[in-house]
Each structure stands twice: as C-alpha cells, then as structure tokens.
Structure 1
Amino acid sequence: MDTLAQLKAGQLAGIKRLDLSCGLTQFPREIFDLADSLEILNLSGNALSSLPDDLHRLPHLRVLFCSDNAFTELPACLGQCPQLSMVGFKANQIEHVPAAALPPQLRWLILTDNHISQLPDELGERPRLQKLMLAGNRLEQLPASLAQCHNLELLRIASNRLAQLPHWLLTLPRLTWLAYAGNPVEMAVDVANDDDTPNIPWAELALAEVLGEGASGVIRKALCKPSNAPVAVKLYKGTITSDGSPLHEMQACIAAGLHPNLIRVQGRVVGHPDDQAALVMDLIEPSYRNLAGLPSLASCTRDIYDPATRFSAEVALRIARGIASVAAHLHRHGITHGDLYGHNILCNAEGDCLLGDFGAASFHATVDTLQTRALQRIEVRAFGVLLGELLERIDSGLSDQQRLALEALRDHCCQPQVLARPAFAEIEAQLSSF
C-alpha cells in the first residue's frame, strides 16, 4: 500500500499502479503528477464522495477501484477517460448511474452492494462489456439494451428485486457465469427440503486453525465432539458479496445433497454465541489442491493456471467426467452453480475432484421448460471453457481422434445458440466413451 506522504513528496514518479487507503475525503491533486504512467488507481477504503471533473487528465488510466467509499452517484467524469475499461464502486451508497459515467471502453463494471434501482439504457452500448456485477441493489429490471452485449460472460444480479429474468438474457451467446439468487423470480421456486440436515451444537466444536477465507466466510479446521472427529467449519459472513448473499450460498450447499464430487455437509451449526450462520463439512485431504487460480485484471473472466500445470489424458478426463456428473446432479436438484470454474475445483494428482464454493448458486424449477433449459445450458458453456482449459494442458495419452472428438464437444458446449448446447447428461454419456 502506498502512502499519501510518498505521493506528496514525489517519491512515486513513474509508477503504473497506485493504492491509497488513508481516510481520504478529497481526491489528492498530486495524483495528476503520475499522468504519464498511471494505469491502475485503487482508492478503495476511504471516505470519498466525488472525483475531479478533469480525471481524464490521466490518459493511461485503465482500472479504477473506489469501493467502500461514500459515493451516492457514479461520477460522470469516468465517461471522459479514454482508456478506462475496469470500474469498481462496490459498497458505496450509489443511487444514480448517469449515462455519462460509462466509459466507452468499459469491459468490467462492479456496482455491488449499493442502492441502485435503475441503470441507463446506454449500458448496452458498451460492446466490450464482459463482466457486470450488480448484486445487492434495488433493480426491478435490467436495461433491454443489454441484449446487444454479445461479449457479456459474467453477470451477478443476486439480491435485487427482479420478478422475472428477461428472455433476451437467456439468449446471450457468451453468457457463462450467472448468479440471480435472492430475487423474487428465484424465491418463487420450491427449494429442496433441508429438514433432514442435522443440527450440530456450537459447544461440540473445538475450532483450530484457519484453512481458508473468501468473500462469503472463513473455513476453519475443528474437532467435533464426542468423537473428536476432524471436520471443517465454514462460518458465513452476513454481508453481500460480489456473488450475492452468503446465506443463499449456505442454503444451496444444503440443498445440493450428496454426490461423490461434492464436499459433504455434515450439519448446520446451532447455538453460535453471535448467532453466526455456519456449516460443518467433511475435512478435505491435504492432497487436494485448487485446479487453477482466480482470474486476473488482464484475463478478466479466465482462470490463471500455473505454467507448469500439465495432465495426462486419464487425469484430465477423470476431472471432466467428475464435474460433468456433479453439474448434472445439481441441475436435477434445480440448482445452477453459477461459478463453475477451475479455481472452484479441488483435485488430487489422480484426478479425483470436488466442486466447491456455492456463492453464486441459484435455484430454478426442476420441470423441463425453455427457461430451465436455457439456465442449464448457460452453465454448460462454463463446462466447455473448463474442458478447453484441460485440453490445452494434456501432454500424453490422447490420440488425434480423441482430441478432435473432445474439441468438438468443447465447441458444442460453447456454441452461441444457447438451447442448441448439450445437456450434462449427454456430456456425461460422451465422456464415458473415452
């Protein structure tokens, strides 16, 4: 983290990225001294409510993050920044998004956890838009112009006030990762009954070290009395994440039920001293690792793999079969995962794998309707992306004929006509022949 003193002393000349979080109430004019080099500006965690009208004097600015501030309106000056493509104003108090605030090169827009009830039609006139995060607002509808955003791949609209999903949304050719939980359209669906999930008293858990932490909560190792069996406990945060509500994630984990490629839920924690929601889950063996890393600013919606990551055909196919199987299982239970990515898959050296992180999961009807089919085929595209990533890293054991067949399956999963994509049952059947 850079300091304001360094900035004012001229010690940051030539930097491409500036991170300032020090209780700012006004935009430091000294930032303009970095105009020849500055590309990424992170002013999150301050008390700003406005930006200077001449922000465009930063001609190389590509990324601007102003989350956790006091903005009530998305600043119109953003629209004058010629290279600005990534904008993040999460957890402010924004009520108004003027059309003038949308930069022409917009690719990534994060407006999570604000008070937005309407978006400008001009949002659909940003053809590069690829990632749009709007969870935790007051939207009752989306601009119909978004139907023109044929590059939109990731959309988070959970915890809003949408009574229906527009038809055009389910036809977007590249939409891949969709989260819409916590809207009236989803709450009208009959959710799987979870009454059989055991209650586990907080007093029976002896917490140990932290195993991991994400936007929705903290996972800790624990011993569960009276047997002192080792388990994992996920303690959910109550705030809105970029995907939606952590409590919706918890509901989806329970409703998903049992499957060999899911982390088993042992019970729901009751009696937490602060009434914090938590689940007790199986403890995963340490041989399991994340298949990939999170997307970067540069990759936007694509996972980052270690350059050394390679698979045999046997291991890659085992991963693909496992994920296709568990995705089919979830769809039969009326659940779309919404975040089917390599970074949410744990696997071991043999290709045994577990699909985790239900933060973007949503419920849909289990009857076969055009909407249900479209929602499921959107997720099929995510599998197609994953299959392509696996294919790129197979270094042995795959014949030319097999590779061509798998590439054809990948292309079938990713084709632009949503309803023409295969269902996961069909994908499972094809993969079983290899």
Structure 2
Amino acid sequence: MHTLAQLRAGELSGITRLDLVDGLTEFPREIFDLADSLEVLNLSGNALSTLPEDLHRLTRLRVLFCSDNRFTELPACLGQCAALTMIGFKANRIARVPAEALPPLLRWLILTDNCIETLPTELGERPYLQKLMLAGNRLQALPESLRQCHRLELIRIAANQLTELPQWLLQLPSLTWLAYAGNPLETEADAKALEATPRIDWSALRLEKKLGEGASGVIHQAVWQSAEQPPMAVAVKLYKGEMTSDGSPLHEMNACITAGLHPNLIRVEGRIVDHPQQTAGLVMQLIAPSYRNLAALPSLASCSRDIYPEDLRFSATVALRIASGIASVAEHLHGHGITHGDLYGHNILWNELGDCLLGDFGAASFHAISDSLESRALQRIEVRAFGVLLGELLARIDSGLSDELRRTLEDLERRCCQPQVLARPGFGEVVQTLAAFNSIN
C-alpha cells in the first residue's frame, strides 16, 4: 500500500501499480506524474465520487479499481481511456451507467453491489468483454446487445430483479460460468432438504484455529461436542451475510445443504442455531491436511483462467481420477437442480492419489429438475467449464497416457467446449466416457 505523502514527494516515480487508500475525497493530481508508467490504479476504500475529465492522460492505464467509494454513476471519462480493459466499481452507490463510460477495449467489468436498474445497449458493442460482474443490483433485464459478445465467458447476475433468463444468453458460445441466484426467475431450494438438516447449537461448538476466509465467510477448525457422540473435529463456516461478487452468502449455504451427499463433496454435518449474533453458519466435515487447492484464482492478466504452479504435473491415473470425480459430482448436482456456477480448479481440493472435493457454492443457482431446453442449456454451460478444466489437466499429464487416449480425451474436451451449447454432451455421457478411459488406463 502506498501513501499520499510518498506520491507527493515523488518517491513513486516509474511504478506500474499504485494502491492508494488515504480517505481521499478528490483525485490526487500528482497521479498524473506517473503517466509514463502507471498500468494499474487502485483507489478502492476512499470517499471519491468523481474522477477527473482528463483521466485519459494516463495513457498506459489498463486496470482501475474504485470499489467502496461514493460514486453514484460510472464516470464518463473512463470511456476515453484507450488502454483501459478492466474496471472495478463494487459497493458504491451507482445508479447510472452512461454509454460514454465504456472504454473500447473493455474486457472485465465489475459493478457488484450497486443500485443499477438498466445498462446501456453499447455494453454489447464491446467485442473483448469476457467477465461481467453485476450481482446485487436492481436489473430487470439485460441489454439484448450482449448477444454479440461472443467472448463473454463469465457473468454474475445474482440478486437482481430478473424474471427470466434470455434465450440468447443461454446460447452464447463462450459462456462458461453463470450465476443467477436470488432473482425472481430462480427455482427455490428444496425446502425438505433444508428442513431435514440437523440443527447444531452454537454452545456445542468450540472454535479453534482459523483455516481460511473468503468473500462469503470465515472457516475455523472446531470441536463439536454433543450428548449423542464423543467430541468430533469439524470445520465451521460462519457466513458474513454481505453481498459478494457471486451473490448472497446465505444462498450459498442453502445450496451446500441441498447438494446432499456425494464422495466428491464436503459433507455438511448440520446448520448452526442460537449463535449470539444470529450469524448463519454450517458445521462441515474437516478435510485432511493432505488436500490442497488444485489451482489459484485467475490473475488480472489471465482474466478468466486459473493460475497453476509452473511445476505441477500429474500421472494419467491421477488426472483422470480428478476429472472423473468432478464430472460425477457435477452430474449429481444437476440431478438435484443445482448448477455450481464456479466449476474451476481453484475450487477443487485434491491429494496425491487424485481424490478430490468440489467446494465453494457461492455462485450456485437452482434450476428445474425436469428436462427442458433451459435446464439442458444451463447444464451444458457448466459442461464447458468442465471442458476447460479437462484441458488444463491434460496439459499437465507427464506420464501414463498413450497417444490414442490423449487424442480421445482431447476430442472430449473439444466436444465439451464447442460453441453450439446444446450440442455438448451432458455430464451423464461425460462420466461414462471417462469411466471407459479409466478402465483402459
């Protein structure tokens, strides 16, 4: 993190990234002294409501973050920034998005948790648009012009006021990760599953070390002591209740419960009741320390693609075991009327044997269990996500895979990722295909 004093003293000359949180109410003009080098500007967490009209003087600026400020509209000056590709204005008070605010090379737009009711038609005229984060607004419709965005891979429209998913959205050739929970259009969670979930009194839990924290909540290792069983080591997730880029954390909790039991899911032991602050939470299976994340989150540069360790390699047996496990659990979820919405390597835990667990239901959405063109399309959008994952696994197999099997698996990857959504295989077919590969291998 940098300081305004450093900036004014000229100590930051030549930097490519500036992170400035200093209670700013006005844009510091000294930032223009960095115009020859500055590529990433982070002004999140201030009290800004405007940006200067001559922002385009920052000719190298590619990424701008202004989340958690006081903007009521997306600044029109952004559209004049010729190199700008990523814009983040999460958690402001934005009600208006003028067409003039959309730069020509726009690739990644974050407008989560604002007050937006409509979006300009011109949004669909940005051919490089790849990620669009709109959860937690007041949208009743999406601009139909987005049908032209053939590179759009990830869209978050959860917690809006949408009454239907447009047919053109479900036909986008590259759409891979879709979250739409918390809209009037969504099928409700299985009430019986929610009701049947055991209730675990907060007093029966003793929190120990913190295991991790994400946008939706905090996870602790804990001990669960009940009258019916000896003390049991568990994981406790306490939800924050705030809007995330994917949607509502409480909706995530419902999806975890409704998902039920599967060998490749983290088991839910019960739902926490009587927390002193009325915080919602789940008690879950404690995962062995031998499990680790398959990949890291996408970077600013990779946009929609996970980052894998450069030296990560698998045997064919391990890679196929991971692929088979994830295909199986995705088929299971679809059978329960759930799309995961974030089927990514960074949401998969694995060990050296190829055992794996799919986690993070923050982007999960409910759909009708009955077969229809819509449910089939929603499921096959997720099949594309699996195809991307399969390609990432195949690229890292270093032994045990014959040329013939590799060609066959690469063909499966291509079929999962083909642009015609309904022509992709369902997960039932994917599971059967991988089972045959495993038996041969």
How does the TM-score come out when normalised to structure 2? 0.98
Counterpart in the other structure of 2:304: 301
Counterpart in the other structure of 2:170: 170
Counterpart in the other structure of 2:214: 214
User: How far, CA to CA, are the matches of 1:73 and 1:11 in structure 2?
Assistant: 33
The structural deviation recorded for 1:193 is 3.0
Q: Do the aligned partners of residues 139 and 191 (structure 1) sit closer, same or farther apart at CA in structure 2, a change above 3 Å counting?
A: farther
Counterpart in the other structure of 2:423: 420
Equivalent residue in structure 1 for 2:370, among 350, 361, 367: 367
The structural deviation recorded for 1:263 is 0.2
- What letter corresponds to residue 402 of structure 1 in structure 2? L
**Does the alignment pair 1:52 with 2:55?**
no
The structural deviation recorded for 1:191 is 5.7
- What letter corresponds to residue 98 of structure 1 in structure 2? P
SS where residue 294 of structure 1 aligns?
A: coil
Q: What does 1:328-343 correspond to in 2, within 5 Å?
A: 328-343=331-346
Whether the 8 Å contact between 1:201 and 1:271 is mirrored in structure 2 is yes
Q: Do the aligned partners of residues 152 and 2 (structure 1) sit closer, same or farther apart at CA in structure 2, a change above 3 Å counting?
A: same
Whether the 8 Å contact between 1:239 and 1:246 is mirrored in structure 2 is yes
Moved over 6 A (4+): none
CA offsets, 1:186-239, max 9 Å, x none?
046766632211000000000001001100000000000132210000000111
**Does the alignment pair 1:106 with 2:126?**
no
**Does the alignment pair 1:353 with 2:356?**
yes
Whether the 8 Å contact between 1:262 and 1:326 is mirrored in structure 2 is yes
User: How far, CA to CA, are the matches of 1:50 and 1:263 in structure 2?
Assistant: 45
- What letter corresponds to residue 393 of structure 1 in structure 2? R
SS where residue 186 of structure 1 aligns?
A: coil
Q: What does 1:91-170 correspond to in 2, within 5 Å?
A: 91-170=91-170
- What letter corresponds to residue 38 of structure 1 in structure 2? L
- What letter corresponds to residue 54 of structure 1 in structure 2? D
Whether the 8 Å contact between 2:16 and 2:37 is mirrored in structure 1 is yes
Equivalent residue in structure 2 for 1:311, among 310, 314, 321: 314
User: How far, CA to CA, are the matches of 1:274 and 1:39 in structure 2?
Assistant: 43
Whether the 8 Å contact between 2:25 and 2:47 is mirrored in structure 1 is yes
The structural deviation recorded for 1:371 is 0.1
**Does the alignment pair 1:229 with 2:250?**
no
Two-structure CA RMSD over aligned residues (Å): 0.8
Long gaps (5+) in structure 2: none
User: How far, CA to CA, are the matches of 1:266 and 1:162 in structure 2?
Assistant: 33
User: How far, CA to CA, are the matches of 1:192 and 1:202 in structure 2?
Assistant: 23
Counterpart in the other structure of 1:402: 405
Whether the 8 Å contact between 1:189 and 1:365 is mirrored in structure 2 is no
Counterpart in the other structure of 1:32: 32
Whether the 8 Å contact between 2:189 and 2:254 is mirrored in structure 1 is no
CA offsets, 1:248-283, max 9 Å, x none?
000000000000000000000000000000000000
User: How far, CA to CA, are the matches of 1:193 and 1:387 in structure 2?
Assistant: 32
- What letter corresponds to residue 280 of structure 1 in structure 2? V
Report the identity percentage: 73
User: How far, CA to CA, are the matches of 1:331 and 1:403 in structure 2?
Assistant: 27
SS where residue 167 of structure 1 aligns?
A: coil
User: How far, CA to CA, are the matches of 1:93 and 1:191 in structure 2?
Assistant: 34
Counterpart in the other structure of 1:4: 4
User: How far, CA to CA, are the matches of 2:333 and 2:28 in structure 1?
Assistant: 50
Long gaps (5+) in structure 1: none
User: How far, CA to CA, are the matches of 1:220 and 1:194 in structure 2?
Assistant: 23
CA offsets, 1:65-112, max 9 Å, x none?
000000000000000000000000000000000000000000000000
User: How far, CA to CA, are the matches of 2:198 and 2:436 in structure 1?
Assistant: 39
User: How far, CA to CA, are the matches of 1:108 and 1:357 in structure 2?
Assistant: 22
The structural deviation recorded for 1:45 is 0.2
Whether the 8 Å contact between 2:187 and 2:368 is mirrored in structure 1 is no
How does the TM-score come out when normalised to structure 1? 0.99
User: How far, CA to CA, are the matches of 1:182 and 1:6 in structure 2?
Assistant: 44
Q: Do the aligned partners of residues 198 and 191 (structure 1) sit closer, same or farther apart at CA in structure 2, a change above 3 Å counting?
A: closer
User: How far, CA to CA, are the matches of 1:209 and 1:193 in structure 2?
Assistant: 30
SS where residue 159 of structure 2 aligns?
A: coil
Counterpart in the other structure of 1:263: 266
Equivalent residue in structure 2 for 1:248, among 235, 247, 251: 251
User: How far, CA to CA, are the matches of 1:267 and 1:100 in structure 2?
Assistant: 50
User: How far, CA to CA, are the matches of 2:404 and 2:72 in structure 1?
Assistant: 58
SS where residue 340 of structure 1 aligns?
A: coil
CA offsets, 1:98-134, max 9 Å, x none?
0000000000000000000000000000000000000
**Does the alignment pair 1:71 with 2:71?**
yes
Kindly tell me the number of residue pairs found equivalent between the two proteins: 434
Whether the 8 Å contact between 1:192 and 1:333 is mirrored in structure 2 is no
User: How far, CA to CA, are the matches of 1:343 and 1:97 in structure 2?
Assistant: 32
